[in-house]
Chains A and B, each alone.
Chain A
Amino acid sequence: MERKYLLGNEAIAHACLESGVDFVCGYPGTPSSEVIDTLRAQPERSYYLEWSVNEKVALENALAAAWCGVRALCTMKHVGLNVAADPLMTSAYTGVTGGVVIMSADDPFAHSSQNEQDTRCYAHFARVPCLDPGSVQEAHDMIRSAFELSEEFGLLVIFRPTTRICHSKGDVELGPVVAGSRKGEFHKDPRQYVVIPAHTRVLHKKLNEKQPAIRKRLVEKGFNRYEIRGKMAIIASGIASSYVQELLPEGVSFMKIGAYPLDEEWLGEFVRKHEKVLVIEELAPEVEETVRQVAGGVPVFGKKNGYAPYEGELSPAAVAMIMEKAGFLKKNPFVPSVPVQNLPVRPPILCAGCLHRGAFYAIRKVFKDAIYPSDIGCYTLGLQLGVVDTTICMGASITVASGIAHSGETRDVVCTIGDSTFLHTGIQGLMNAVYNGANMTVVILDNRITAMTGHQPNPNTGLTACGVETPPVSLDAVCRACGVRFVETVDSYDLTDMVNVLQEAKKRTGVKVIIARQMCVISARRAGVKRGRYTVDPDACTGCGTCVRFGCPAIEFADEKARINELCSGCAVCAQLCPVGAIIREGKK
């Protein structure tokens, strides 16, 4: 036994090693990415590991591996499970032989996400077990049980941590690492693996028949447990249970929910021993709805009667307020503390020297009055530069662009999408746009890496997740194969070239693709690329503000003059746009 101070995701990765995982795959997405990043960084690996191109691809790979009898882990963020929902729903019918754990990390408060959906609803929908840890230690311990449960019931198990588990830290007790030793072997069984109607009807019945035993087992495993301490009770799940435990007054009973489906009989027995019950959980009222079904005449407090919020994330302060409002806490121990008002905000921003900023600048310059659909990645921050009009989900820049183009809207449509997002779910939209004759321009912002989630390689990088060289996909050839005639690759730092190519695209009809390519400035720094800094010649600077509006964090403005700070990475785009040539390479004057 060993204790370490670990990030939730590192503890989860370690638990996979303790479980002898054989097959690891997934698509990066905050807050889930560090699990695979930790597993791929292990000096010795007894398991197969890949970054897949999207979550559907990942889950189908994991499923097939488990059909061959090995243990598989498949990671993604909550919205990734939407992409993987198709295989999820039917693989619950086919079941698995080796254990499969799908880690789908939820993001209450949408710290780094486009919505606040709740993975537990998917588990409910697919009728597969779902584990919902309340601490880093429990996340670690649950992973080991998740593989066992998956094998015991022949079903995929969903493991659903939230941001405050994945990106929390704690002192964690770890177990010994076990090398994955299973060898896959596929046993043909069409009644199991070919879901024609005659087979699937039988499989659906089998899935439903598994449910009562699962519910009982989750209680036996201790994931769902309670302590009777009085006539009032609080039921809490996930990280919220740790907030409740910190505040729990004497004489109030407590039930901790860590796994679904809930055993209604067991739950009802507990609820009916109390005079009133409060349910505290983040996101959907998943526990609360079941509690209400079994409560009989016992009053239930929660989201459905306005005591707790449906949206955002909980915190000790929020939980104290809910408990006080519902009469479960006599005095809120926290005094309200108001932040200092009117401070200038510091939101995340595209890095100094980010390749996307130059591309966005050129797009705005050439297409002044256009519609700019965009996508999911660092470049969504182009919103601050006025070049992001829509973002909905992965790959939706190209499809939204074609939809707008076909709607009768007369302005130009120019969409932006990163290389990883294009390979994730962008290609189908491009094919569709060409096939159906849309008039639009697609700019692929190509930094050859999945930057936002922590620089994971993708098929465009030339390296696998484990660092093995692999032929990089040709974006140019993919676009041409989709039928695009105008495909140009340009250096995002070369404003003149960017502008010329965009102007050329503007003149033409049909779907035009521009691949704006440069290294991610963070990757470049790590690779030791040194471009030399730029500086403003104060005698030449007229203080016009053109460079300041470019929005680079390296450019400041004081005493009516621009100034370049130490964040400069030498991309030189500002030097190209300064109308009086006042921005020069350091030491070159």
Chain B
Amino acid sequence: MTGSYDILIVGIGGQGTILASNILGESCLIEGRQVRGAETHGMAQRGGSVESHIRIDGQYGPLITPGQADLLISFDLLEALRYSHFLKKDGKIVVNRHLVLPTSVYTQKLAAPTEEEIIAALKNHALCLLDADRIATEAGSPLSQNVVMLGAASKWIPLKPETLLESVKRLVPKKTIEINAKAFGMGRAAGGKN
């Protein structure tokens, strides 16, 4: 509608969705583009389902409307499915092949879909599935999985990969720049060039 490219990043509180959103925001600044975002803070972060909205070239409000997102980046399989209705018809998904069942499944004996069922359902969209934990560990630290995810998603993000990499370097702790730069490259390779 307004020509913004809308990215929804989802996961479980504490997984580092906010750093991923900051890297995208910083990249927009570098390229001189407008950007809007919205995040979950406060009590909802305590192990709950969290979402970050980022609208590249956004000029108005920060919220993405269900059915309008161009790209969904999910740190967890179940959360990818929970938010998949935010995608537009030709929207894309980048998802970490990792499933944390909510505690409610154990304490209230709720039914949960299996990994295979979730992946089958996500395949309605162009899907990039990767083991970000493993790749991040290989890059040097499991904490770099959010950068791995961004690397994999970069093929679909309308920002130059060099810009994204520059933002990664600016925003991660100094001691971890090398690891994260590697994580970005490995994530990008895992995501394929499209």
Contact = CB atoms under 8 A, between A and B. Distances in A.
Interface string B62-79: 110111100000000011
Interface of A: 3-5, 7, 30-31, 34, 111-112, 164, 167-171, 239, 242-243, 245-247, 315-317, 333-340, 342-351, 378, 380-381, 384, 452-454, 548-549, 551-553, 555-557
Nearest to A77: B42
A35 to B, nearest CB: 12
B115 to A, nearest CB: 13
22 contacts: A3-B29, A5-B26, A5-B28, A5-B37, A30-B42, A112-B41, A112-B44, A164-B38, A169-B35, A315-B63, A340-B84, A340-B85, A343-B82, A345-B104, A346-B79, A347-B48, A347-B102, A349-B47, A349-B103, A452-B42, A452-B43, A556-B106
Given A338-B85, A378-B46, A548 B106 contact: yes
B38 A167 contact: yes
Contacts of B151: none
Contacts of B107: 384, 548-549, 551
Given A169-B36, A246-B60, A345-B104, A336 B43 contact: no
B34 A347 contact: no
B141 interface: no
B44 A171 contact: no
Nearest to A385: B107
Interface residues of B, number: 56
Of A3, A4, A30, A344, the most chain B CB neighbours within 10 A belong to: A344
Nearest to B25: A5
Nearest to A549: B107
A130 B61 CA distance: 21
Contacts of A346: 12, 47-49, 78-79, 82, 102, 104
A198 B44 CA distance: 50
B112 interface: yes
B82 A340 contact: yes
Interface of B: 1-2, 12-13, 21-22, 25-26, 28-29, 33-49, 59-63, 65-68, 78-79, 81-86, 101-107, 110-113, 121
B121 A169 contact: no
Contact of A348 (B45, B86, B106): B45
Of A111, A381, A549, A553, the most chain B CB neighbours within 10 A belong to: A553
Of A4, A242, A338, A384, the most chain B CB neighbours within 10 A belong to: A242
Nearest to A343: B82
The 10 A-B pairs at the shortest CB distance, nearest first, are namely A337-B67, A5-B25, A30-B42, A169-B37, A348-B48, A112-B42, A246-B60, A337-B66, A346-B102, A242-B61
A7 B103 CA distance: 31
A169 B21 contact: yes
A342 B46 contact: no
A344 B101 contact: yes
Of A111, A346, A378, A551, the most chain B CB neighbours within 10 A belong to: A346
Given A5-B26, A171-B25, A317-B66, A344 B110 contact: yes
A165 to B, nearest CB: 9
Contact of B36 (A170, A317, A378, A548): A170
B44 A169 contact: no
A170 B62 contact: yes
Contacts of A315: 61, 63, 65
A111 B44 contact: yes
A167 B43 contact: no
B104 A171 contact: no
A143 B12 CA distance: 34
A183 B51 CA distance: 45
Contacts of A552: 103
A168 B106 CA distance: 34
Contacts of B61: 164, 239, 242-243, 246, 315-316
Nearest to B142: A566
A169 B25 contact: yes
A496 B26 CA distance: 52
A336 B67 contact: yes
A338 B85 CA distance: 6
Of A345, A378, A380, the most chain B CB neighbours within 10 A belong to: A345
Contacts of A351: 46-47
